[in-house]
Amino acid sequence: MDSGLYAAYTALMARTQALDTAANNLANVGTVGFRAQRDYFRGALVDGGGQNSPPSSQVGGTVNGFGVLGGNVLNLSQGELSATGNPLDVALHGQGFFAIQTPTKTLYTRNGSFSRSSTGVLQTAQGEPVLDVQGKSITIPTGTVHIASDGNISVATTQGNAIVGQIGVFDFPDRGQLHTESGGRVSADSIDQRKAVNAALQQGSLEEANEDAVHGTMQLVLVQRQAEMMQKALSVFSNDLDKTAAEELSRV
């Protein structure tokens, strides 16, 4: 049986998965701090010797190799910074993530749109505490807030200036362990994290998504056309197999 059928099938499967990734990237171009995803491929050696393996032709002892989608990796390139004037908005320049405590686990985000709760806790728009370098919540008293580039928070009150905490910015030795979550957030397989050394905070600004609408639309259209081409190729191989089967069976 012609192995081109399996090549077309795996290509269609890979392009279908890539289509979901491209659509998700485009849908989040307006999400603050969003990290786009990029597909990566791996080679799948298909050997017809095994009972559960799809058949393939072998020429000179060399098996056919097909490229299948290995998964997605985060694009960690810098997004553009836009000024907001809000003293509790913080943009990250460089590598790293803010840590936030959700009801179930610690998540990481580049979205620095923070606010002060009724009890003074620094929180996200969803009301989740932002963590400091020790992994604890930060309480900010009433007063004029200044956030330094290293994350130190000082508040000017009638008693003077006082440092009340330091926003934690964390990085991971193996960034491949990061997984995307809803809202442009990421989670990690382990707690193997460290303080980011090449990150600077900018008060009164937010980082935009590192995917723009033009590039995202072009990528979506490209992947969609590739998927359509694979569908046509698969249809051609299927029709040829049906024709061959009909001609051969009539001779039996």
- Cα–Cα distance for residue pair 188/32, rounded to 1 Å: 20
**Claim: this prediction has a pTM higher than 0.75:** no
Residue 153 and residue 147 in contact, taking contact as beta carbons nearer than 8 Å: yes
Tell whether the model's pLDDT for residue 232 goes beyond 80: no
Percent of the chain with pLDDT over 90: 44
Nearest to 88 by CA among 153, 137, 149, 133: 153
Mean pLDDT value across residues 219-239: 77
CA 195, 200, 201, 207 torsion: positive or negative?
negative
Residue 232 and residue 131 in contact, taking contact as beta carbons nearer than 8 Å: no
Element (H, E) at 233: helix 213-249
- Cα dihedral 123, 125, 127, 132, rounded to 10, equals -20
Residue 53 and residue 64 in contact, taking contact as beta carbons nearer than 8 Å: no
Residue 29 and residue 37 in contact, taking contact as beta carbons nearer than 8 Å: no
- The token pair at 37 is 């995803």
pLDDT tens by residue, 116-134: 999 999 999 999 999 999 9
| pLDDT score for 59 | 37
Q: Among 3-17, 37-51, 73-87, 196-210, which is the least confidently predicted range?
A: 37-51
Q: What mean pLDDT is reported for the chain?
A: 81
pLDDT tens by residue, 17-50: 788 888 888 999 989 999 998 876 555 444 444 4
| pLDDT score for 46 | 43
- Cα–Cα distance for residue pair 79/210, rounded to 1 Å: 4
- Cα–Cα distance for residue pair 60/23, rounded to 1 Å: 42
| pLDDT score for 81 | 96
Residue 13 and residue 226 in contact, taking contact as beta carbons nearer than 8 Å: no
The residues, ordered by sequence, that sit 6+ positions from 211 with a Cβ below 8 Å of its Cβ are: 25, 26, 28, 29, 34, 36, 75
Local structure of residue 184 (DSSP, 8 states): G
Q: Is 147 helix (H, G, I), strand (E, B) or coil?
A: strand
Nearest to 184 by CA among 36, 19, 73: 36
Instruction: Annotate 5-62 with DSSP letters as a single string.
Output: HHHHHHHHHHHHHHHHHHHHHHHTTTSTT---EEEEEEEEEE-TTSTTSPP---BTTB
Tell me the pLDDT band of 60, cut-offs 50, 70 and 90.
Answer: very low
Tell whether the model's pLDDT for residue 237 goes beyond 70: no
Q: CA 199, 185, 89 angle in degrees (round to 5)?
A: 55
pLDDT tens by residue, 157-199: 777 789 999 999 999 888 878 888 888 899 987 767 888 888 9
